[in-house]
């Protein structure tokens, strides 16, 4: 099983390299300059990590993805340091400005997002291997290995990638 998933990740990786080399626009989804390949690779990696723990795969949640995009957009001008992202000391995370506005923009409100969790990481050029280990080999793994979380939204801008985890309870279903 693990080998199959590694193979899938490798295929995605090669595919993205192929896309860059061919300067073909492989992702023709309706978005602008965000890193679709990195987001897909991270999601595959996280779900593969969960599979090794016998946890269900996280299901993509559109509104959580919207929120992740908005937060990544806000963080993009902040440089990566050893105190940003998953390296951060709890309590010193970068502040999210206008959070209620971001929720509203994504058709969310505080009552249905309370149990969710926001996990930002800053990795130069969003190097796929480092991005994945920033989630699976840091304190963030405590959230990823939790059965409580069932859904996910991922957004990225420049060196920032943001994972929002959702639950299947009324207080965290992001709906
Ligand atoms: C996952 O499930 C399999 C089969 O039920 C079991 O052999 C394995 O030990 C489990 N792994 C973990 C990490 O629980
Ligand atoms: C971050 O890096 C600076 C200088 O590179 C170092 O002095 C500091 O101890 C580091 N902080 C952490 C939390 O690793
Ligand atoms: C959230 O829940 C509180 C308490 O039940 C309620 O008063 C409030 O109107 C709710 N807010 C939204 C935006 O639904
Ligand atoms: C997270 O990414 C940073 C680069 O910003 C890297 O230096 C660090 O080693 C990564 N941490 C983990 C646990 O992979
Ligand atoms: C999740 O990860 C934390 C820290 O790595 C560990 O203490 C905990 O036992 C793990 N829980 C599960 C269900 O694997």
pLDDT tens per residue across span 80-104: 988 788 887 777 777 899 999 999 9
| The residue to which tokens 């390949």 are assigned | 37
**Cα–Cα distance between 70 and 152 in angstroms, integer?**
15
- Residue range 66-79: average pLDDT? 96
In this predicted structure, what is the pLDDT of residue 63?
98
Q: What is the 3-state secondary structure (H, E, C) of 79-142?
A: CCCCCCHHHCCCCCCCCCCCHHHHHHHCCCCHHHHCCCEEEEEECHHHCHHHHHHHHHCCCCHH
Q: What is the pLDDT of residue 82?
A: 80
pTM over 0.85: no
- The CA 140 to ligand 4 mean position distance, Å, reads 12
pLDDT at residue 23 tops 50: no
Give the pLDDT score at 90: 73
Task: Note the pLDDT of residue 34.
Answer: 59
Q: Which of 80, 82, 88, 89 to mutate to test the pocket of ligand 2 (most atoms within 8 A of CB)?
A: 82
Walk me through the domains of the chain, giving residue ranges and CATH numbers: 2-167 (3.40.33.10)
Pair of tokens at residue 55 = 């946890």
pLDDT over threshold 80, residue 40: yes
Pocket test for ligand 1, best of 54, 144, 146 (most atoms within 8 A of CB): 54
Q: Is 82 in the pocket of ligand 2 (CB under 6 A)?
A: yes
Would you say 160 and 122 are in contact if contact means Cβ atoms under 8 Å apart? yes
Rounded Cα gap, residues 75 and 67, in angstroms? 12
CB 74 within 8 A of CB 97: yes
Q: 111 in ligand 3 pocket by Cβ < 6 Å?
A: yes
**pLDDT at residue 94, as a whole number:** 77
Residues whose CB falls within 8 Å of the CB of residue 76, separated by 6 or more in sequence, listed in order: 157, 158, 159, 160
Question: pLDDT digit string (tens) for 120-133?
Answer: 999 999 999 999 99
Residues in the chain: 175
Residue 5: pLDDT over 80: no
80 alpha carbon – ligand 2 mean position (Å) = 12
């Amino acid at each position: 099983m693990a080998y199959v998933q590694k193979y899938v990740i490798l295929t995605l990786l090669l595919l993205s390299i192929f896309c860059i080399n061919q300067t073909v626009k492989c992702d023709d989804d309706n978005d602008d300059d965000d890193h679709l390949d990195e987001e897909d690779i991270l999601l595959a990696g996280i779900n593969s990590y969960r599979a090794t723990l016998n946890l269900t795969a996280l299901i993509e949640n559109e509104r959580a993805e919207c929120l992740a995009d908005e937060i990544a957009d806000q963080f993009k001008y902040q440089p990566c340091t050893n105190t940003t992202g998953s390296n951060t000391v709890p309590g010193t995370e970068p502040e999210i400005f206008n959070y209620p506005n971001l929720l509203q923009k994504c058709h969310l409100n505080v009552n249905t997002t309370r149990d969710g969790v926001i996990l930002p990481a800053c990795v130069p050029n969003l190097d796929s291997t480092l991005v994945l280990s920033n989630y699976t080999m840091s304190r963030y793994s405590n959230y990823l290995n939790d059965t409580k979380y069932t859904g996910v939204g991922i957004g990225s801008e420049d060196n920032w990638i943001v994972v929002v985890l959702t639950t299947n309870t009324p207080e965290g279903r992001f709906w």
